[in-house]
Structure 1
């Protein structure tokens, strides 16, 4: 009797478990049953529909008028330098009136030597001249009287010749004394050091109180304040440059100056196969960023041409290459390697061919990967004007990057 009750109880419990399982199964609607949201979210292949990775803007490559340039490197130097020295020897430098960087005019007083010694020499030379003139006057009188007595025979011919020789010797001494006086006066003028031309003082070795020898350099002058850029251009490119060509020179500090080609060297260096092209630069005082002795790079303007360009923000540097993302018809993007060229403003030249009518991702390009699905919106401003992405990047996306197109 007890066994029958236990069997009945076990059967009843098992029936309850089966009924509960069936109820749970019946209340749970299959996810893949037609009409359910899960089934609607599946594609034809049965996979869930992908969500857009990012909201982007697109633009097409546009033809832009660009300048044809030729890049070169070289040194900045003075157009001409004048060495200003002393012509007097053994004089003490009493005064220095200019310093390095001063702009001077032709004939301006730069330094003064002590004139006392020269003045004494000039006074002595004048006294010697006066003595020589007196002696010459006496000799001339004796010779004149001797000539009047020549016909009378009171003096022999030898005596007359002696008086005439004395007269000529006295005249010569007068001329010598005049020359000595002139030389001393030149020394007196040389006690003042004058600028030989307009320009800028580039170096100074003059020191007050020093005694210098004749010919010692006291100052160095950049004539007329003119500088030049001596660009090295290969022999293959030399024929593309002509006198008068405009050049933009950029120093190491970033200062940019516009100049013009003054001349081209008539020879080519046999070692480097390069020739020097001399470019005149504006006044040295007006360009604090360009100085003589600097190394500078620059570009020669050779003309203008039209080329396809894209916004700078659409260029994404990855793995050592420049890339752009092209929008496909299914709103996915394809990564393309491109070669960049010249740059104007915020646009960069693309030198290799792009597919006809290709739409390039501009805003948000740096966050994309090849094959990403995107949502395209209209640009709020000029394409590539630096707008920020409208949504955060998907997990695993790469950061943005920029590259400067070298001219």
Structure 2
């Protein structure tokens, strides 16, 4: 029994020794392997690299604008009283001069009749005064009437003239008040709002209808100052209706006189060309105007183009960070600003080279970088 135990003890000790030796040997082997040099990779600055474009994209000059009507109005009554008729609803097309609603006119008709009667009476008095003054003038000429009698006839004639003029004006005023009891369309258009119904009391400050001219449309758009000098009255641009994508055509009608100091843009108004739309255009819709034809003229057909953010420049002089073999190299370049957000590289760069997309990143010659998407 004692021998067997001793053998087992020796074997166990041997196994422990082998195991210990194996562990020691493994650790030594691992320590002997060269560790990968990850310092440079982990410390490299992640950058996006781009190559210069040889031609600007077609959509480089698109601006968002809004369709609006050249004519729109809020209509109110020119008199006070209850509405007795409302003849249109929202969405109705109306013609200039068409009656849209009417106030109570019973008392106004009476006023017109009274004014007409007063005018007739004043006219009759004037006729009598005219006869009297003509007779008095003849008698005074022949010496049969004293001067005082002639003066009295002249005064009566002038009073009759004034009364006739006053009565005529009162009659015209009564007619105008009757006319003002009707709310009419000031131009051809579409009713966009109806705020009152039959029986409602209205006055000169009550908004009753909204109306817009849907035929005469224009687009208001803010155009960057970099190309505003390329746009003139009559410049044609393509428009796209959001979100349908329907296309239409506009012609520039007016260019703003000032540049907004915050956005560096100029307001441009462009008329929608009739018959050049693929869909119905409605005031208030958002649209995209494409001035790429103008942009192409401004930028030229050839050259190397970079986003302005990729170049650190002052005037025509600047520099870019060229990516080469995992490092960046500062490269002086000569640039020309052609469009908002884009520059043409005139000197110092080739089309095959890659540059850092953001020149403002903290870099210097030899900074390690890794290109990321």
Please indicate the TM-score interval, normalised by the length of the shorter structure.
0.5 to 0.7
The answer (yes or no) to whether the contact 2:69–2:283 under 8 Å persists in 1 is yes
Q: Give the match for residue 74 of structure 1.
A: 65
Q: Which runs of 5+ in 1 are unaligned?
A: 1-62, 308-351, 356-407
Paired residues, what number? Answer: 246
**Where does 1:1-400 land on structure 2 (aligned, <5 Å)?**
67=58, 69-87=60-78, 89-151=79-141, 153-214=143-204, 216-242=206-232, 243-251=234-242, 253-263=243-253, 264-281=255-272, 291-302=282-293
Partners of 2:278 and 2:83 in 1: CA distance: 33
SS of 1:120's equivalent in the other structure is helix
Instruction: Return the index of the structure with the highest Cα Rg.
Output: 1
The answer (yes or no) to whether the contact 2:191–2:212 under 8 Å persists in 1 is yes
124-133 or 201-210, larger mean C-alpha shift: 201-210
The answer (yes or no) to whether the contact 1:261–1:277 under 8 Å persists in 2 is no
Q: 1:260 to 1:152 in 2, by over 3 A?
A: closer
Partners of 1:298 and 1:236 in 2: CA distance: 16
The answer (yes or no) to whether the contact 1:255–1:290 under 8 Å persists in 2 is no
When normalised by structure 1's length, the TM-score is: 0.52
Shift of 1:226: 2.9
Partners of 2:213 and 2:152 in 1: CA distance: 59
The answer (yes or no) to whether the contact 1:197–1:223 under 8 Å persists in 2 is yes
After superposition, give the CA deviation of every residue in 1:82-107 in whole Å (9 maximum; x if it has no partner): 343333x2232211222222222222
The answer (yes or no) to whether the contact 2:250–2:273 under 8 Å persists in 1 is no
Q: 1:272 to 1:144 in 2, by over 3 A?
A: same
After superposition, give the CA deviation of every residue in 1:348-384 in whole Å (9 maximum; x if it has no partner): xxxx9689xxxxxxxxxxxxxxxxxxxxxxxxxxxxx
Shift of 1:125: 0.3
Partners of 2:169 and 2:290 in 1: CA distance: 59
SS of 2:291's equivalent in the other structure is strand
Q: 1:300 to 1:256 in 2, by over 3 A?
A: farther
SS of 1:100's equivalent in the other structure is coil
Shift of 1:293: 3.1
The answer (yes or no) to whether the contact 1:103–1:200 under 8 Å persists in 2 is yes
146-155 or 121-130, larger mean C-alpha shift: 146-155
Shift of 1:126: 1.0
The answer (yes or no) to whether the contact 1:240–1:302 under 8 Å persists in 2 is no
Partners of 2:150 and 2:268 in 1: CA distance: 75
After superposition, give the CA deviation of every residue in 1:316-362 in whole Å (9 maximum; x if it has no partner): xxxxxxxxxxxxxxxxxxxxxxxxxxxxxxxxxxxx9689xxxxxxx
Partners of 1:258 and 1:232 in 2: CA distance: 18
Partners of 2:174 and 2:269 in 1: CA distance: 44
Q: Give the match for residue 398 of structure 1.
A: none
After superposition, give the CA deviation of every residue in 1:236-289 in whole Å (9 maximum; x if it has no partner): 1323434332222342x34433221322222222232211122333679x8877
Shift of 1:69: 4.9
Partners of 1:194 and 1:219 in 2: CA distance: 10
After superposition, give the CA deviation of every residue in 1:370-407 in whole Å (9 maximum; x if it has no partner): xxxxxxxxxxxxxxxxxxxxxxxxxxxxxxxxxxxxxx
